[in-house]
């Protein structure tokens, strides 16, 4: 499947040029932002780990093996891509045990930067945001045009599409989701089940967002919308008054789209009709997600780009720095700037 079939139309116009992302791992750097004060004592050992060309699950397995503990004793807040330089937290449950020697786990692809104790394990989704430093190389494009587009992105945000990585190589995860949904079955293997359910859910969300972008109202609140703040999972209905809330203009409050699950769309008026139509056009996926016990949730349609700054280290290099909420894709922003033909999303 093509990028446009899995994501949708761009909101800010055609790309201003082309570039390469992740020519080397250092071109894509990610730091978890964790706002949890660590006590320094307890039966959980927390590790601040730098990884290069190593995904989160592989790192967890290496740490568990070196520490001599079962993999289920290792926790992390979120998954980070392999082809990148990332820094994230892990925790090890070590009741009554001393800190293990992890030197054998360290090499050029994994380094333990910090370690401390805490009373509780690290929960999935516990981090508040991710900080990015991206380096676009082989850049072709007019700097003035790029600057103008970046100013527009900074002021208005971008569509909050789920990235290509969510759907697997050539959309393989989505193909798998459709096949299982058509049979009304779920994969037995837990990891595969989670991956396919996520792909199906993300696809329906992207289709709703794509339609809102095409209609030109992806960043506008309409009566019947369900609104949410950037860092909140709760939402509330929009009436006439809510559609004029000044927090919409400052990118603090946003319309949302469906993360499909049990029950129909809780949106109102024409928004519900749009979301139900997308679900109906998605084949058996919506019913399959509901039958799997997924809970209907919401995701903001507009992605604000916090702290966006940029400079040109060379005539054909653009460096970007910004912070995104958890679960959001950095290349949703880059896609609105330049074309990354042949690149894998993150």
Answer yes or no: is 18 within a domain. no
Task: Give residue-wise pLDDT tens across range 277-293.
Answer: 999 999 899 999 999 99
Does residue 110 sit in the same domain as residue 163?
A: no
81 is catalytic: yes
Residue of 81, 215, 225, 262 marked catalytic: 81
Average pLDDT over residues 64-79: 95
What are the E-state strand segments in the chain? 17-21, 28-33, 44-52, 74-76, 85-93, 110-118, 129-141, 158-159, 226-229, 236-237, 253-259, 297-300, 302-303, 306-314, 317-325
Residue 172: CATH number of its domain:
3.30.2340.10
Rounded CA gap, 46 and 32, in Å? Answer: 14
Average pLDDT over residues 29-38: 93
Task: Give residue-wise pLDDT tens across range 135-144.
Answer: 999 999 999 9
Per the model's pLDDT, the better-predicted residue between 340 and 338 turns out to be: 338
Percent of the chain with pLDDT over 70: 98
Range of the domain at 86: 36-118
Per the model's pLDDT, the better-predicted residue between 139 and 128 turns out to be: 139
Rounded CA gap, 78 and 275, in Å? Answer: 28
Average pLDDT over residues 23-31: 95
Does residue 187 sit in the same domain as residue 283?
A: yes
Does residue 168 sit in the same domain as residue 61?
A: no
Say if residues 181 and 291 touch (Cβ distance below 8 Å).
no
- pLDDT at residue 346 tops 60: no
Q: Which residues of 320-335 are buried (b: 16+ CB within 10 A; e: fewer)?
A: bebbbbeebbbbbbbb
The pLDDT value recorded for residue 118 is 97
Cβ neighbors of 71 (< 8 A, separation 6 or more) are 60, 61, 64
Q: What is the mean pLDDT of the chain?
A: 94
The pLDDT value recorded for residue 79 is 87
Does residue 107 sit in the same domain as residue 170?
A: no
Does residue 91 sit in the same domain as residue 189?
A: no
The pLDDT value recorded for residue 264 is 78
Does residue 203 sit in the same domain as residue 276?
A: yes
Does residue 60 sit in the same domain as residue 180?
A: no
- pLDDT at residue 345 tops 80: no
Task: Give residue-wise pLDDT tens across range 81-127.
Answer: 888 999 999 999 999 999 999 999 999 999 999 999 999 999 998 88
**Confidence band for 344, pLDDT divided at 50, 70 and 90:** very low
The pLDDT value recorded for residue 82 is 87
Helices (H), 137-268: 143-156, 172-183, 190-215, 246-249
Residue 114: CATH number of its domain:
3.30.2350.20
Say if residues 1 and 167 touch (Cβ distance below 8 Å).
yes
Specify the number of domains making up the chain: 2
The pLDDT value recorded for residue 341 is 64
């Amino acid at each position: 499947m093509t990028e446009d079939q899995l994501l949708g139309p761009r909101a800010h116009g055609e790309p201003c040029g082309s570039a390469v992302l992740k020519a080397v791992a250092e071109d894509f750097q990610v730091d978890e932002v964790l706002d949890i004060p660590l006590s320094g004592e307890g039966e959980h050992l927390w590790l601040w780990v730098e990884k290069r060309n190593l995904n989160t699950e592989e790192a967890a397995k290496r740490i568990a093996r070196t520490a001599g503990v079962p993999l289920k004793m290792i926790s992390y807040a979120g998954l980070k891509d392999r082809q990148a330089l990332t820094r994230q937290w892990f925790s090890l449950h070590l009741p009554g045990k001393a800190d293990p020697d992890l030197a054998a786990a360290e090499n050029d692809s994994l380094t333990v930067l910090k370690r401390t104790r805490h009373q509780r394990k690290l929960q999935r989704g516990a981090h508040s945001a991710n900080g990015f430093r991206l380096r676009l190389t082989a850049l072709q494009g007019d700097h003035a045009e790029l600057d103008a587009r970046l100013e527009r992105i900074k002021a208005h945000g971008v569509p909050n599409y789920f990235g290509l990585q969510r759907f697997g190589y050539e959309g393989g995860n989505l193909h798998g989701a459709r096949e299982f949904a058509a049979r009304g079955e779920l994969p037995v293997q837990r990891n595969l089940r989670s991956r396919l359910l996520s792909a199906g859910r993300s696809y329906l969300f992207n289709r709703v967002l794509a339609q809102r972008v095409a209609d030109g109202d992806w960043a506008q609140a309409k009566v019947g919308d369900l609104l949410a703040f950037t860092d909140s999972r709760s939402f509330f209905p929009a009436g006439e008054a809510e559609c004029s809330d000044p927090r919409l203009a400052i990118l603090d409050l946003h319309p949302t789209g469906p993360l499909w699950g049990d029950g129909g769309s809780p949106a109102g008026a024409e928004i519900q009709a749009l979301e139900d139509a997308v679900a109906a056009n998605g084949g058996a996926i919506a019913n399959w997600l509901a039958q799997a016990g997924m809970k209907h949730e919401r995701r903001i349609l507009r992605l604000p780009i916090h702290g966006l700054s940029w400079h040109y280290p060379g005539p054909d290099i653009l460096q970007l720095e910004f912070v995104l909420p958890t679960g959001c894709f950095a290349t949703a922003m880059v896609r609105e700037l330049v074309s990354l033909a042949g690149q894998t999303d993150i």
